[in-house]
Amino acid sequence: MLTRPDGLRLWMPDTTVSMLERAAATWPNAIALVYGDERLSYAEYEANVRALARKLVALGATGKHVVILLPNSLDIAVAIFAVQAAGSTSVTLNPDYSAAELGPILDQVRPVLAIANDDLHARLLDLLPADALVASISMLTASQPEQIFLPVLRPDSIAVLQFTGGTTGSPKGAMLSHRAVATNVVQREAVLPTNAADEQIICMMPLYHSFAAAMCLHLTAYAGGTLHILPRYRPDWVLDCIEREHITRLPAGPTLFNSLLGFDGLTRERVASLRCAYSGSAPLPQDTLSRWEALTGVPIYEGYGQSEAGPVLTYHGPDMRLKQGSVGPPLPLTEIEIVGGGVVGEIRARGPQVMDGYLDRPDETAATLINGWLYTGDIGRIDEDGYVFIEDRKKDMAIVGGFNVYPREIDEVLMQLPAVREAGAIGVPDAYRGEVIWAYIVADNLDPETVEMHCAASLVKYKRPSAIRFIEALPRTNVGKIDKQALKAMARAELDGGTDVA
């Protein structure tokens, strides 16, 4: 049993869906979701979820994978819970992914159904198995099957398949059980307590992202608050919503905090209703934190985690000492160690929120989960008070605006161009996005415009190189591999020299 800092015992759900069921039973008339002029009470929310779930059961989706490719809307919130209520595994993907990005994922998932808006149907039909269906929410709920009962959900069944990039360039699906996802909500509630049925939470991050699902969708359902969904991020929309709806909690990534700080309309008065803000998905620069708190007076609580961990492992809370540069201590029921017991080294963690493994990747699962410990691939240290500090990443990965980007994937896309002989992509520090991608290319008779057009056709926007550099040869290690550290040193030298790379 977990308790909040004020001593209140916390209810522990055993499935994701039970959070919504409890909210609907406790606060049926309270507003659960807001999107533009649309509003759903908790009773309506649960009824919509059940209606869609029954249709999914009738279609034979129980025990199978269902892909969700929807933008921010009421539909995606309903779809995520409905898929899980049907006893299926939800696989939320970016609807802006190219066919080249979707194909390898769909090949692994082999879904029985893809839920998407009409404009994606033709493209998806070319990528899905021949017996898979593609439908919109409205198509699925146009008629209701009779006498369909929803399955009894097992806490250890897989609720979520969260895809993350792979160091080999191939994306991996982290399998998270109902118990893992639901427990992680309560772990966070023990550190960052909410006020029942009083919270107004804004979501401008895409709900297919694990941080948004955790800190917006699941948090609100557990608290019985109201989730205000924006179609996408725009600083004027965010501030208008905060002011109009008296928003109390603002989950965001460092890129969005930086953007708001650069917007002329941000004033202390406009965000006076905020009790706190949460930061995650990428490291929060100390300068961003200091400027935000000085201007708004609103504290930002930062945490750390990854898709494989439910997705949160650590968090600062209001009753904790805030340490500069730290992502906070481990959540309750969570252990974090440095591999080998050194001062600085790879971080490993274990707890009930950790994934069961990667879908159909026994070798990578065995290398990542060892005796119950999740080897994160992040380098860090732990101080005498148990606070975690992230120093570096062991994996070849960049975090662009809160999204994980694996340079190997960009390398492979670049190598598809016939003129390219070698390619090396790296993450480079960026004041606004945290990191951006630079591409170093060895090629014959190739211009940047051709590279940009090729990347635009093959990669979602945040993965595309923001700078392209043609060089005579890529640096190599003594075993012949492309030396990414040498490329990063070249980029640092260019940045230090003040070269314009926009």
Kindly state the average pLDDT of the residues 83-99.
97
pLDDT for res 169: 60
Torsion sign, CA atoms 185, 190, 196, 200:
negative
- pLDDT (tens digit per residue) in 58-72: 999 999 999 999 999
Residue type, 410: I
Mean pLDDT (the chain) is: 93
Neighbours of 40 (CB within 10 A): 20
Q: What percent of the chain lies above the pLDDT cut of 90?
A: 81
Nearest in space to 367 (alpha carbons), one of 172, 78, 197: 172
- pLDDT (tens digit per residue) in 214-228: 999 999 999 999 999
pLDDT for res 166: 57
- pLDDT (tens digit per residue) in 233-257: 999 999 999 999 999 999 999 889 9
The rounded distance, in Å, linking the Cα atoms of 14 and 180 is 9
Q: Where are the domains of the chain?
A: 16-382, 400-496
Q: What percent of the chain lies above the pLDDT cut of 70?
A: 97
- pLDDT (tens digit per residue) in 274-332: 999 999 888 888 889 999 999 999 999 999 999 999 999 999 988 888 888 899 999 99
User: Dihedral through CA 352, CA 375, CA 303, CA 332, nearest 10?
Assistant: 30
pLDDT for res 370: 98
- In three-state secondary structure terms, 141 is coil
pLDDT for res 296: 98
The rounded distance, in Å, linking the Cα atoms of 409 and 413 is 6
Q: Is the pTM of this model over 0.75?
A: yes
pLDDT over 70 at 357, yes or no: yes
- Judging by beta carbons within 10 Å of its beta carbon (0-12, 13-18, 19+), is residue 473 exposed, middle or buried? exposed
The helix/strand count (H/E) of the chain reads as: 16, 25
pLDDT over 70 at 501, yes or no: no
Neighbours of 308 (CB within 10 A): 29
What are the tokens at 337?
Answer: 């160690």
Superfamily of domain 400-496 in CATH is ANL, C-terminal domain (3.30.300.30)
Say which residues have a Cβ less than 8 Å from residue 77's Cβ, sequence separation at least 6.
33, 45, 207, 217, 227, 229
Query: What distances in angstroms separate CA 89 from CA 67, 114, 124, one per listed residue?
Result: 8, 12, 19
- pLDDT (tens digit per residue) in 426-475: 999 998 999 999 999 999 899 999 999 999 999 999 999 999 999 999 99
Query: What distances in angstroms separate CA 254 from CA 103, 114, 431, one per listed residue?
Result: 30, 32, 10
Query: What distances in angstroms separate CA 457 from CA 93, 176, 466, one per listed residue?
Result: 18, 32, 15
pLDDT for res 73: 98
Asked if 16-382 and 400-496 have one fold, the answer is no
CATH class (in words) of the domain with range 16-382? alpha beta
- pLDDT (tens digit per residue) in 166-215: 555 678 999 999 999 999 999 999 999 998 778 999 999 999 999 999 99
Tell me which range, 80-94, 119-133, 270-284, 488-502, is most confidently predicted by mean pLDDT.
Answer: 80-94
- Judging by beta carbons within 10 Å of its beta carbon (0-12, 13-18, 19+), is residue 240 exposed, middle or buried? middle
- In this structure, the chain runs to a length of 502
- pLDDT (tens digit per residue) in 46-55: 999 999 999 9
Neighbours of 141 (CB within 10 A): 16
The rounded distance, in Å, linking the Cα atoms of 84 and 15 is 9
pLDDT for res 502: 35
- pLDDT (tens digit per residue) in 402-419: 898 988 889 989 999 999
pLDDT for res 401: 93
- pLDDT (tens digit per residue) in 17-53: 999 999 999 999 999 999 999 999 999 999 999 999 9
The rounded distance, in Å, linking the Cα atoms of 427 and 485 is 10
- pLDDT (tens digit per residue) in 114-126: 999 999 999 899 9
Neighbours of 178 (CB within 10 A): 22
pLDDT for res 207: 97
The rounded distance, in Å, linking the Cα atoms of 205 and 230 is 8
